[in-house]
Amino acid sequence: MWLSVVVLVHVLLLSNSVESQSIIDTLPGFPGKLPFKLETGYIGVGELDEVQLFYYFIESERNPKHDPLVLWLTGGPGCSALSGLLFEIGWIILSPFTFDYANSSGRNKPTLELNPYSWTKIANIIFLDAPVGTGFSYATTWEAYNSNDTSSTTQTYEFLRKWLMTHSKFLVNPLYIAGDSYSGITIPIIVQEVSNGNEIGHLPPLNLKGFVIGNPLTHEIWDINARLKFAHRTALISDRLYQSTKRNCQGRYINPDPNNTQCVEDLREVNECVANIYIGQILEPNCAIESPKPNKLWSLSPHLDDNFIDTLHSTPDQVLEPWCRYYNYLYSYIWANDKSVQKALHIREGTIADWTRCNRSLAYTDNVITSIDYHQNLTKKDLRALIYSGDHDLTIPYTGTLEWIELLDLSIKDDWRPWFVDGQIAGYVTIYTEEKYSLTFTTIKGGGHTAPEYKPKECLAMIDRWFAYYFL
């Protein structure tokens, strides 16, 4: 009885933070009513709710009452949740719709079509624009726009508690924190906060079961250094150059000693070999409008130059050759900045100047060097983890991910073996355990950064089986 009263009081207090919450029945570009339940809204977090985080929530198309509840965070930092909804690039295919490119060209408004491999077919998903300044999220003071890894994770945890207070029917659903790319830094911290909060009695108690991260960043230097080994394994550099670079640079490939002339020369040769490789998926064309970067292999971001959108806007009806995946993303700028779309989504007028898929001017400080220590702490918890990597991703290669997983010193329950979709190998899986903790690592064959944009069918099969405790 006492607990019920406390929960009711918290609901009354926290519900004031949800200043808008709307059910969306139709969207510009989609014919008729949406065949799934879409809700959008803002929740205020931080001191005086000065940070207003925008979210999209889609109920599972299968069984909302029993299917998992997933909080999804796109990477970046600063990449909008809408990117996950519409593409899942660098970052997985969770969307219930994708752009119908065949019927959308130039300045015409893009049209939408259903995505048969949406993760919302088997899970309830909250797509969150975080940190502040991402997507449609905004702050009411200039100071509140300044954020970092630790403040952002605290705000995300606060958001989740407040959201569940106003959606209490999902409190019993298994909860998973999920995301990709840069979210590999923040998700383990959020999971740690949720776990600690449950232990000390924060309300409401969250039914945390685990976390999912695709192509995860865990340590910038570690992950970028792993590109040399990946480039060698995929025949982008020769055996001779690989061995020479290892020997002369002694593992220091980022900002090497300028007096180490042999290392500098080796790295120059390495960069010459990969200069025209699209590091997001090494088999796809490299965008012609991307400026050459002399140290491309040792730069974290695969993003294009700032003139990318201007270039595409200036020639919207021309076919750019060769085709590059980034060209598709122009449609999201056209659609999300359309006033009728923003009205349909119930975006607060005047809160942002322009929607951008990934906000590169974010006032954000990456103050957590590595999340590996958090992963180590989580191995002592009763949790499940799924880590997956597109095996053609040079941005954050699977080679580095496997190396930090090995550092956790877990027991191997099921060693490297293939798993299948439609009778074909979809990837290779290893399952690790430590008492009540389990970690599943898998590659997605042919996937890039991140995997579901490239292999949506295989990734849906992966997450569906893993949620069902059957893998793979």
DSSP β-bridge partners for residue 138: 52
Find the catalytic residue in 219, 375, 392, 449: 449
The one catalytic residue among 149, 223, 393, 438:
393
Please indicate whether residue 464 is annotated as part of the active site.
no
* Of residues 33, 42, 170, the one with CA closest to residue 114: 33
Query: Residue 270 in contact with residue 297, Cβ under 8 Å?
Result: yes
228 Cβ partners below 8 Å, 6+ apart? 237, 242, 245, 246, 253, 270, 297
**Bridging pattern class, strands 384-390 and 437-444:** parallel
**96 contacts 118 by C-beta, under 8 angstroms:** yes
CA dihedral for 343, 344, 348, 350, sign (positive or negative): negative
What is the Cα–Cα distance from 214 to 217, expressed in whole angstroms?
9
202 is known as an active-site residue: no
How far is it, in rounded angstroms, from Cα 431 to Cα 433? Answer: 7
Give strand pairing partners of 467. Answer: none
Strands (E) across 151-231 are located at 175-180, 208-214
Instruction: Give the H/E segment covering residue 463.
Output: helix 456-467
Q: Are 281 and 325 in contact (CB under 8 A)?
A: yes
Question: How many other β-carbons are positioned within 10 Å of the β-carbon of residue 33?
Answer: 10
Catalytic residue among 181, 244, 332, 438: 181
Question: What end-to-end distance do the CA atoms of the chain give, in Å?
Answer: 44
Q: What is the DSSP letter of 293?
A: -
Q: Which residues of 332-350 are buried (b: 16+ CB within 10 A; e: fewer)?
A: bbbbbebeebbebbbbeee
Determine whether 313 is an active site residue: no
- CA-nearest of 272, 296, 217, 221 to 251 is 221
Distance, in Å, from the CA atom of 338 to the CA atom of 12, rounded to the nearest integer, reads 35
Cis peptide before 111 (omega within 30 of 0): no
79 secondary structure, DSSP code: B
Distance CA 301, CA 239 (A): 26
Task: Please tell me the distance from the alpha carbon of residue 354 to that of residue 362, in angstroms, as a whole number.
Answer: 13
Q: Which residues are catalytic?
A: 181, 393, 449
